[in-house]
Structure 1
Amino acid sequence: MSQTAHIRSHRKPRRSASKIAMRAGVAGGVLSTLAVAGASGTATAAEPVTQTLELPTLTADLTAEAAISAEATASAAATYELQAERDAAAERAADLAERNLKKAKAEAEAKQEAEEKAAREAAERASRDSARETLTTASASSSASTAVSGSAAAVVAFAKAQVGDAYVSGATGPNAWDCSGLVQAAYKQAGVSLPRVSQDQSVAGTQVSLSNLLPGDILYWGGAGSAYHVAIYVGGGQFVGAQNSGTGVVQASLDYDPPSGAVRVL
């Protein structure tokens, strides 16, 4: 026995049997758990579970076919684009041709219309010149003739007396007249009953040439039987007529408004 054995603080404490047994059990459990875990880990490591995806292998043939397909696609796209450009160009050309055709037709029609208009105007000028020449000849002949007498004188005198009166459509005097109303009233002074309207008055007697007029003859404008205006020739290349609402009854030269024809009643 050591010298310090009798000192209480230097003695090793005794462990109880229960504590030792408990610690031994815990240690054993831990070792068992570790052993099972190790065995499980070893089994898992020995047999790993994997999933493999097999990818197609690009052989030389597949690579060539892919290249050919891509080239064909590019060629087709180029062909379609070229065809689209050709179609667009053809459409533009057709549209331009149509516009040019319409323009040419319009110009041709305008030219034809202008030529026809020029021809009509030339014919009208020639007709007026001929009428003026005829009336000038008639005026000279009338001026050289003897003074108006008899029934024609009464017609002429009445017509001249109405110069300055108003023109009113359908009027028959005494201060307003239309063209046929004045002619009818003038001939009534000579005891001659004429039809009321200008169409009938233009065929009421014998047709005479404008180069052979005598005072008292009825002048008409338009066709015989379809005249739209009448007046009275008073000699000296002059006529008296109810012209329109703007001028009323006037005495004017035959050149002022050349008539179409004449009829002699007296």
Structure 2
Amino acid sequence: MYRVSVRMPTSQRIKDEENEAAAREWVISQTVTKANGTILAPKNVQNNLIPTYSTPSYLSPGFSKANLPSQQWLLDRQDLIRERQQDLQILTEEEYQKIFIFFSNLIQILGEQLKLRQQVIATATVFFKRFYARNSLKCIDPLLLAPTCVFLASKVEEFGVISNSRLITTCQTVVKNKFNYAYTQEFPYRTNHILECEFYLLENLDCCLIVYQPYRPLMQLIHDIGGQEDQLLALTWRVINDSLRTDVSLLYPPYQIAIGTVVPLASVTLRSMREI
């Protein structure tokens, strides 16, 4: 981190009750944010005392807020349709969506069998959808990519690395017992396939691995609403889990998904409570 010297405002210019807050703010302001080359200046420091910084040379000329990971994977519906044209020449839109519902269910069951948290399962599902938002289904077998997404998500969400043998064994069991109507043969992939596929997944995700989920804003919204929080949380939680099978995670930010889930269900729940 780079550090610069900023002249501390004199105590005469700071009200007594703001001394402590101003001092903390001044200390924070010493650190230059390397991401965009700017400095956080305290409110009581005049602007002409703060040096300005241009965009660092190691950032590309096209760097902007739109390039941040949180914005990079918010896609337009037309972009999705354009990227899917190769698959939609063979499949109908309904068939295409059914395939993603199928593999989202596979990821969900696989995560449950591995005793993963829902946050990990949701991140794995988002990884899966982001990969195929830019690639055809013919690029990598979804049956291989699904456990690879689970494997990567468990590390990203700091759940702990799943042992390779346990992952393969669980995949074999799930495919044999839960999806034998679709796969007549056993799970064909081994550890080396998962590890190799992980590199392709990382490359296509541009190493943007932090996924913001709607669960945290959902819980905050429900807490603010009050009332029957447990009942409303259970309903909205299930709806958000189901939304992972659709394209909303690619089209809208997490807080909008949370609001879109809470508002109608809260109205129905509160109306039911009044009727009771």
* Interval containing the TM-score (normalised by the shorter chain): under 0.3
Q: TM-score, normalised by structure 2?
A: 0.25
Structure whose CA Rg is larger? 1
Which structure has the highest strand share of the two?
1
Between structures 1 and 2, the one with greater helix share: 2
